[in-house]
Amino acid sequence: MTRERKSLIAGVGVLIFTVILAGVAVTAHTNSEPEPEWLMVMNAETGEFQPAGNTYTLTLAGVDAEMLAFTDRPERQAQTWDTSEFLDYWANEFDGDPPNAVVSADGVRVAVTLSDPRVGMSARDDGAVTPSAGAVTFTATPLPGQEPPTSLITQP
């Protein structure tokens, strides 16, 4: 089973808007063992994709202050990470190689890459990005065969 499939399965059953970020190796090992790859779950109350040329602006509103991080076997670790600290670290970890993510809520499941997180920002209908407390905005590029919805996504 592929890592992306495992990420999708990990998001099924979550009762609120969820973004799952895949393939993050952030824990350094001092021996020759490979570093574990971390998967993260970022929860928010709502999400919305706005078209922006060949990409989309994904705005998450009501983002949880903490996020779940876990590894797959053989490591089998789980931790709670501070969302703001994780987003501050983004450029160091993902510069030039944005992570894949699954956006899952309200019957919607779409795979994208995420880049350029902006904390406390949201997209307006006209495409402009403006300040908004409790929001995180990303540039989202759909993976081949994926088409994000352009309506507000919420969890019933």
The answer to the question of residue 155 being in a domain is no
User: Which structural domain, as residue segments, surrounds residue 51?
Assistant: 3-26+36-146
75-100: pLDDT as tens digits: 899 999 998 888 888 888 888 899 99
The answer to the question of residue 152 being in a domain is no
Q: What is the pLDDT of residue 107?
A: 84
The answer to the question of residue 127 being in a domain is yes
The answer to the question of residue 58 being in a domain is yes
Residues of the chain with pLDDT under 70: 1-31, 121-133, 155-156
The answer to the question of residue 156 being in a domain is no
Domain count, the chain: 1
| Strand ranges of the sheet holding 17-24, from the earlier edge strand across to the other edge | 78-82, 66-71, 38-44, 17-24, 100-105, 108-123, 129-142, 55-61, 46-52, 153-154
Q: What is the pLDDT of residue 19?
A: 58
